[in-house]
Amino acid sequence: MYKKLGLMFLLGASASPALADTYMDAAWAKKACNAWNASPVLTKQLVDVDINEEVAGGYSWINNDAKRGYKLVQMYRSKCGEQTKVQLIIQNKNGAAMCVAAGKPDGKKMNFNVDYLMHASDKNWACMGRGSFGCGAMGAMMTGKLKFKGPKGEAMKVMSPFEAFLKVAGKVPGDKASCPK
């Protein structure tokens, strides 16, 4: 038993859920950033999908950044309140939509023409994270399971990557017993 706990400690694993990162805290956000970068759907399709056919040549999701060079994605658990939100900073790096930083918001101003703020109940984050029936990106937005502020039309045009992003929330474990500090 002690050998197993010692090995778990050395590997950085948690011996109990109480020792896990709090769901949607800064440490959790860093892991979500890594999961984003490991997803070919997020890193590639958000560069390749043309979201504005009306503009000659169009432009991709990642390049719709208000000429700042980044997009912000912020999220939080509804029961914990907006003051607990975390942020992912996404940039075009060598032709890929990469998460370059994550954690507590760093003071960058949200521009809801290009940035996203989302929140949901723990139950709905879990459902969306599993990709369960009725909890896909489209369903979650339409039924109000996911509260969403940002460019909804743009999100609709990148539904497959948006769905992949919501699944990231389910792939990254975290303790939901308490709210992030």
Helix ranges restricted to H, 45-181: 46-48, 122-130, 137-143, 152-157, 159-171
Closest CA to 27 of 103, 123, 135: 103
Is the model more confident about 47 or about 125? 125
pTM of the model: 0.83
Chain segment 65-114, per-residue pLDDT in tens: 999 999 999 999 999 999 999 999 999 999 899 999 999 999 999 999 99
Q: Inform me whether the pLDDT recorded for 154 exceeds 90.
A: no
Average pLDDT, the chain: 84
pLDDT of residue 80: 98
Q: Inform me whether the pLDDT recorded for 17 exceeds 60.
A: no
Chain segment 169-181, per-residue pLDDT in tens: 888 999 999 999 9
The number of angstroms, rounded, from the C-alpha of 67 to the middle of its chain's C-alpha atoms is 22
